[in-house]
Structure 1
């Protein structure tokens, strides 16, 4: 059986590879990276996939570096990571994760000296794309729609619909994990990393819209690594428990949803993705509290709109969208705000998006148009989205398709 190291030791080794002089480090350097929103699914999937690919049986094992697709300063916004990596001696902390801030400079790390595996997305965007790393993609594991950018000969090239990309990652890694020597402490830590995004993305495996067989099988496999820690009895032991699914989910959710102490800028950048199609730039922020709560607890309408415009300028956006997910009164609710700030073409795209998709998404004007507005340089509308099954994963392609149609005209 293959030898293994702890997750902390693995991350330390991966970081050292980035700081080693170019002439002394592996060539190419191999990276695993999640999408630009850098949510739990992306961060954890990259860490787990990189760990097991590094430990794959081979006469010449290849170090895979897990890269969290965000600047190091933004890690502080991912408070839910503290539930996965609790502060304890010799354990991984969020500070051990490798971020965009840790990448060598462009002159020290040209695209030709790298190889990239994408998880939880299939189109490299943002800083990594602008540096040309999209020319060095070797494989992909994703649960989004295939945008037909990943080379046909990529290995692996996995696309399947499921709640969490981690479920697909775990299916890919399971054969390697099965071959490794058993190490209860390491296995427990890795299993907790695996379970976090699966539980969050499937609402504790209860969401009928999101939970698939991929998720159920992955959870069963990961939890087998945790079962021995449940104490001498599963029916009420008073002993300390390392993992209880419901409690773990509740803690993750509590930390993830705790955003009302943040500024609007931090809220907008916490779970954010950006695309450029044709001549327009689109950015979509997902917010885990409803507009009404944010306006009451974070700042009033004018404060919010000012922050949204400032964020759009900072990100060079023509269209800025905000999607909220909340449970007022225990009812799962989605809201959507689309703001066109890029002149007539952006406004035309925003209006066309509503015409084309408003009925399918079940868009109903929010609070009698309380956040709607139209000026010479800005068009803005906000709705309650009755189709709660459509997340950013579905709405972003709708907006981008209209952008592409506009660019072709």
Structure 2
């Protein structure tokens, strides 16, 4: 049985396997890949799942690949903070920047891909390696692209994808913890790796469910996964390890720390705010771009200086990404109440405008509980060629997971004019 490694040592092994020259590369390489928004759920799920699968029978190395370039890690201070609890830094993780290219590039047939927090490989990776997907664990709508006989093939609704990952890995995690009990390499001031992994598991679940307090997002999967992770964490502290890790675990304090870092975009440029949590899809010759921001439109407008200045910043992002339909979703917690807002900007010509208007007028507005934001100061009517609306969203249970598929369906078959 291979020796159990710290998360840092595991990532070093994965890096060596990924960056080895072609002549010394052991193939096929097995990857775990989160989705292209690379939010906390995707990033932590990728690391957690790759570590557990690599340390469970048949002990095949799984390389955790963060779906973003290395420079973009700086936009995710919440991820850096969580990594510290697992005794690693962002320098240790693997990103698209480390993926071999050119003459050293990976042939599709020399790879296997396990998707987490999505079930369709998108972007340039999807074009190259999409046919090499062997499984998925996801909580989005099933797009029918992962083979029916794939293992694992888990697609279920819950607040955080990490909750499904924890459930799928719970027995292997328990076995890992038992192996570690007598490990003399565990220092008295360090938490066992099984407990360090608990912090990776807890962070996205607590963030995505508002500390299990958002009744519209929290499911029994999430509650069960938090219970499993906290049991592992308590076991680590009770074993006498981790005396140098703060003396214990406080869920409220941990959640508050991570949430504050995730929500602080005051120091970011607008381009960074829009790309921090960005996903896009192509429907025919149209591109649907979606950004999620953790602050309300009122904050964003104040930051820009005016509604017009904010709209110009968003327009620059749309032009950079060549977006035909732009969706900006905001979340905020005011006076203890969770709120959502939504902006949709149809930019691809009259046909696109008509399709998006029809989506709103024929049920989307009522279904999502949309009401005009700021007396229409962010709205735009541009002779039928461009159309923008901004709303408050009463039905807060609808997030990008539901809204993006609805809009994709609305613009399906529409041609850019």
- Give the Cα–Cα distance (whole angstroms) in 2 for the partners of residues 178 and 365 of structure 1: 50
Q: How does 1:98-137 map to 2 (within 5 A)?
A: 98-105=94-101, 107=103, 108-130=105-127, 132-137=128-133
Which whole-Å deviations, capped at 9, do the CAs of 1:334-360 have from their partners, x for residues lacking one?
Answer: 111111111112212221221231111
Alignment match, 1:24: 24
* Partner of residue 275, structure 2: 269
CA contact (8 A) 2:278 2:289 kept: yes
Q: 1:188 aligns with which of 180, 186, 195?
A: 195
- The aligned residue for residue 317 of structure 1 is 323
Tell me the TM-score normalized by structure 1: 0.93
- 2:327–2:345 CA contact under 8 A, matched in 1: yes
Deviation (angstroms), 1:378: 2.0
* Alpha carbons 2:216, 2:396 under 8 Å: kept: no
Alignment of 1:240-389 (within 5 A): 240-356=246-362, 357-376=364-383, 377-389=385-397
* d(CA) in 1 for partners of 2:238, 2:172: 28
> Which SS does the other structure have where 1:381 is aligned?
strand
Partners of 1:23 and 1:178 lie apart in 2 by 38
Which residue number corresponds to residue 36 of structure 1?
36
Could you list the runs of 4 or more consecutive aligned residues of structure 1 that deviate by over 6 angstroms after TM superposition?
none
Write out aligned runs for 1:232-247 (5 A). Answer: 240-247=246-253
Q: TM-score, normalised by structure 2?
A: 0.91
1:346 and 1:360 mapped to 2: Cα distance? 21
Select which of 91, 96, 112 maps to 2:87: 91
In structure 2, how many angstroms separate the alpha carbons of the residues matched to 1:298 and 1:173? 45
- Structure-2 residue corresponding to 1:3: 3
RMSD: 2.0
Whole-Å separation in 1 of the counterparts to 2:194 and 2:60? 21
Q: What is the match of residue 186 of structure 2? A: none
User: Matched residues in 2 for 1:102 and 1:252: separation?
Assistant: 27
Write the distance in 1 (CA, Å) between the matches of 2:402 and 2:305: 29
Which one of 115, 130, 151 corresponds to residue 147 of structure 2? 151
Aligned length: 398
Shift of 1:193: 0.4
Q: Partners in 1 of 2:80 and 2:148 — Cα distance?
A: 38
Q: Which secondary structure state, in structure 2, belongs to the residue aligned with residue 322 of structure 1?
A: strand
